[in-house]
Chains A and B, each alone.
Chain A
């Protein structure tokens, strides 16, 4: 269990009901005198006041009467569940229950849909009866098959670029060899909410399966900001210790890992404000280009905390440490891109008016390289930069390059070289020239 959820407040006469849930049984209270089926269960029959009550086992089959997808404004203890579906279902036994619909894509749920009971444990004393589609083809997975670790490596089930709500995912665009992921909540300065975190994780995992793509551009929509960090809407939920820890270790760490473990070269495009968690996401990228007027900083210390999405780890590793400390301790949000560059952070800063065209040139050039080489380069340099000893770093490099050389891509080129060395030398020269800035 990830956090304390409210458990049903059990009455003496409902103990039997909850005990049965532990055995996977759904009971319905029944009056032996007037034959009424009773819900919510009562101490006496609400129809005839008889105390001659018993329990019958429900078939567990029900029909959806109504439902809602809960998306926002729930208590902190339920925020980790968002989005979830609450429903009222009519049981065959003639009673109506409030419950959740599980194992089903929200879009597939309809009023009148047939559902059947399954149980979700909430405490050692009781499990909550919840309902899944009766039609097996509508189920996402049966609950006993749920292997979280296996699923975690794959893109989120039911999530896809067509239904992303907070980001855009676009293959091609500048030169066809790259994928652009755009943080797309411009009216919120592209602040990160739970949905965006989940979608970013999904998107960076998804792009790994695009073999022809070597470069991912991470950008912010709207021009006002790249990203200003965690959305304020998250904050009430962080009042709970577990929720706060999960925001850092689930969403936070997973977003960073999704970027760093994505084998593509991730190029961050900073336009406007890049603050707090927004800067930390940028730091997880491989290259950072900023518009001259962009403003940057980490403001967490102003709230009495510290950057928690990798800021204290990556800033000192990305620039001289005495400068990194100033950024974190000062809480300034008005460092200009130029200032940051002078302090040793950032790949490059371009003048506002040239930014788009200069950035495009950079992407075009890198995206033209072989994805296989970019991938190997990212990994080799990451291991080396993590601080292994020199001999290990050289070994990783040597073996990496040897592997590349004998990869089918490069061997095809070698075949050409063997056939007509001059022609290939000429080609190579052309490509070298193309990669230079001054042509």
Chain B
């Protein structure tokens, strides 16, 4: 018998942003109920809840870890509940855990929620969390390193090696924001897309990173219902099916990470995932990349050979990655365009992948989508999880 393939059949999402009256549990209710309804199943059909670990919210993490979601939502058929944490890559691991439960016949339908509310965390605590996440307390932190700082160093090195200009780096932000403005769940929905000049005129945070090249922290959440491709087919509902996957682990910290390892991992991981799907990179209709800051985008694009070395910046600048371009790229605009919701951007990226394949992406919808490549990554870039998705044909 052929291996069961995982299918996303329902999604629910709330707008990203700061809404003081919206609590963490408001978001959980809203996203889970709409995902279950979108899937067209009964709430009691959900047999497991595997939640994406919220970052920097210990109380909420404890509540969810100890099983509050199935009780709160009255999921009478639920047999299993847990939380899964791999930083920004958590959603990928939730999906793989769900895949196992489905594959082994322990669950037919699994609910995967995520919520992050940054706005109620005191600012010093937030800065402190992001100063220490993926940063070594002995060898990096005492120097005053921050997340923006380590990415700034990677960016400078990348620009130095590839010859990418400041304007080209800024054009990555422009491209991401072009998608974000079309996305009702983005913090920048309907907002004017900044020009390259405007990106570069925003204050320097950690050279060469400008404010608009860094992420805006925000509240948000989403949920997915997954099942097997076979069941989805029987149900006759639109679905996104995982066709291939491959992962690489690099290192916990940027100091100890070699750029060569990362590039090899990008290339081999991507090829492995494409091979598993029986596809080549030319078959991919959308590159739905989650890399958190601008620098990863051109680096990935040229590493896997979607352009000549050193030419990736131009691809963004010339608009090939924009809505309507020949290489639709990060169609929620990554964390830069969506607003940074902790571990939630990976969830939002999967939701987007599913919606594009289901034909539910509205203004962002790319025409004739058959195959999507999507990645996630955790910590300060500790790993690379490559997946390839298709429609349920």
A interface residue numbers (CB < 8 A to B): 5-11, 14, 39-40, 65-76, 78, 81, 84, 86-88, 96-100, 106, 111, 122, 128, 130, 236, 239
Given A40-B138, A73-B206, 13 further pairs, Cβ under 8 A: A5-B144, A6-B142, A9-B137, A14-B138, A67-B156, A68-B153, A71-B206, A72-B211, A75-B127, A75-B146, A87-B153, A98-B145, A98-B254
User: When the two chains form the complex, which single residue of A39, A67, A86 contacts B144, counting CB atoms closer than 8 Å?
Assistant: A86
Identify 6 residue pairs between A and B in the complex whose beta-carbon atoms are under 8 Å apart, listed by A's number: A66-B154, A67-B153, A68-B149, A74-B131, A76-B124, A88-B153
Q: How far is the CA of A5 from the CA of B143 in the complex (A)?
A: 9
Contact of B205 among A72, A75, A88 (CB under 8 A): A72
CB-CB < 8 A to A14: which residues of B? 138
* Docked CA distance A66–B149 (Å): 11
Chain B: minimal CB distance from A36 (Å): 13
**Which residues of A lie under 8 Å from residue B127 when comparing CB positions?**
73-76, 236
| Among all A-B residue pairs, the 7 with the closest Cβ atoms | A68-B152, A66-B157, A78-B144, A9-B137, A69-B207, A66-B153, A68-B206
* Chain A neighbourhood of B256, CB < 8 A: 39-40, 96
Chain A residues closer than 8 Å to B3, beta-carbon distance: none
B residues 133-178 in Cβ contact with A at 8 Å? 136-146, 148-149, 152-154, 156-157, 160
Q: Inside 8 A of A8's CB, which chain B residues have their CB?
A: 137-139, 142
Q: Is B62 an interface residue (CB 8 A)?
A: no
Task: State whether A7 touches B142 (Cβ < 8 A).
Answer: yes
Number of A-B contacts (CB under 8 A): 114
The smallest C-beta distance from A110 to any residue of chain B, in angstroms, reads: 9
Task: Kindly state the separation between the CA atoms of A106 and B149 in the bound complex, as whole angstroms.
Answer: 15
Interface on chain A toward B: helix, strand, loop, or mixed SS? mixed
Distance between Cα atoms of A73 and B146 in the complex (Å): 8
Taking residues whose C-beta sits less than 8 angstroms from the other chain, chain B's interface range is 35 or more
Q: Is A81 within 8 A of B124, CB to CB?
A: no
Instruction: Name the residue on A nearest B157 (C-beta).
Output: A66
Is the pair A236, B137 in contact by a Cβ cutoff of 8 Å?
no
Contact between chains at A86 and B153 (CB < 8 Å): yes
Q: Residues of A contacting B207 with CB < 8 Å?
A: 68-69, 71, 106
Chain B: minimal CB distance from A81 (Å)? 6
Note all chain A residues with C-beta closer than 8 A to B160. 66, 111
User: When the two chains form their complex, are residues A66 and B145 in contact, meaning their CB atoms are under 8 A apart?
Assistant: no
Q: Find chain B residues with CB under 8 A from A72 CB.
A: 203-206, 211
CB-CB under 8 A from A6, the residues of chain B are 137, 141-142
The answer, yes or no, to whether B255 is at the interface (CB within 8 Å) is yes
Contact yes or no, B157 A99, CB < 8 A: no
Does A96 lie within 8 Å of B145, measured CB to CB? no
Min CB–CB distance A47 → chain B (angstroms): 13
A128 to B208, CA, bound (A): 25
| Pairwise interchain contact B139-A97, C-beta atoms closer than 8 A | yes
Query: In the bound complex, what is the Cα–Cα distance between A87 and B149 (angstroms)?
Result: 9
**B138 near A11 (CB under 8 angstroms)?**
yes
B123 CB to closest chain A CB (Å) equals 5
Given the contacts A6-B142, A10-B138, A81-B144, A75 and B153 also touching, CB distance less than 8 Å: no
Nearest-neighbour CB distance to chain B for A73, whole angstroms, equals: 5
Q: Mark B189-230, 1 if CB is under 8 A from A, else 0.
A: 000000000000001111111010010000000000000000
